[in-house]
Amino acid sequence: MTTITAQMAKELRDRTGAGFLDCKKALTETDGDVEKAIDKLREWGLAAAGKKAGRAADQGLIEAYIHGAGRLGVLVEVNCETDFVARTDVFKAFAHDIAMQVAAKRPLYVSKEDVPQELLDRERAVLMAQAREEGRPEAMLDRIVTGRLAKFYGDVCLLEQQFIRDQEKAARTVGELVRETIAKFGENIQIKRFVRMELGEEAER
C-alpha cells in the first residue's frame, strides 16, 4: 500500500483547490493514484471549489453573536453569490459557526494576505533571533522560522485557525471549511470581515 505523504496531498490540493485533509483522504482511498483521487474529489464535489473562488460574491449576510450576557459580541460578514443561498439555514449556520470561531479564538485578520508587512517583518525578526539564541544551525534558520510563522498565522488569521467545532483528530482549518462550503453550494463563499468586541477591552484592530 502506498504511503501518502504531505507533499502528495499538497500537490493534489494545488491542482484541485480542495482542502488538504480531503486530498489526503482521496489519495488514501485510491492508493496514491492522483488521477483517480481527482475523480474521487469530483465525486465529493470538492475539486471545483477552488475554481469558484474567483467569482463575484456580493450577496450574503452579517451574523451577530453575543455571549456572556452581553459581555462579548461579534459581527461577521459572510458573502455568497446569490440571495437564495444566503437565506438557507445551512448558510446561516455556517455564518454562525464563523462568528463563534471569532469569539473563541480571537483572530486579528481574515487571511495571511491581510497581515501588515511591518508586523510580519517584526515577527520574522523575533523568530530568527529566538532560533539563533537556541543555537540552531544558520543553514536551518529560514526553514525553522517558516515553520514557526505557520503557527503565528494560525494564531492571528481566521482562515488558518483550526475549526473549533471539529474533533481534534479530524480537525480542519477554517479555510478548508470554507472550501467545503463552496463545494456544497456550488457558489463562491467568502468571509469578508469581522469585528470582535469584549466589554472593557481596547479595540484590537
Mean pLDDT across the stretch 6-21?
80
Mean pLDDT across the stretch 42-62?
70
Q: Where is pLDDT greater, at 50 or 120?
A: 120
Q: Does the global pTM surpass 0.85?
A: no
Burial (CB count <10 Å: 0-12, 13-18, 19+), residue 16: buried
pLDDT digits (tens, 9 = 90+) for 145-188: 988 999 999 999 999 999 998 876 567 899 989 988 888 888 88
Mean pLDDT across the stretch 12-35?
83
Mean pLDDT across the stretch 200-205?
62
Q: Where is pLDDT greater, at 49 or 126?
A: 126
- Identify which of 164, 156, 50 has the alpha carbon closest to the alpha carbon of residue 96: 164
pLDDT digits (tens, 9 = 90+) for 122-156: 999 999 998 888 888 888 888 899 889 999 999 99
Give residue 198's Cα distance to chain centre. 23
In angstroms, the CA 134 to CA 121 distance is: 20
**Residue 38, SS3?**
helix
Mean pLDDT of the chain: 87
pLDDT digits (tens, 9 = 90+) for 66-106: 998 899 999 999 999 999 999 999 999 999 999 999 999 99
| 116-154 carries CATH number 2.60.40 | no
Calculate what percentage of the chain has a pLDDT beyond 90.
Answer: 47
DSSP string, 158-180: GGGSBPTTS-GGG--BHHHHHHH
Domain spanning 6-47, CATH architecture: Orthogonal Bundle (1.10)
How high is the pLDDT of residue 205?
Answer: 43
Cα dihedral sign for 191, 195, 198, 199? Answer: negative
Domain boundaries, the chain: 6-47, 59-112+157-198, 116-154
Burial state string for 181-192 with b = 16 or more CB within 10 A and e = fewer than 16: bbbbbebbbbbe
Fold classification of 59-112+157-198 (topology level): Tetrahydropterin Synthase; Chain A (3.30.479)
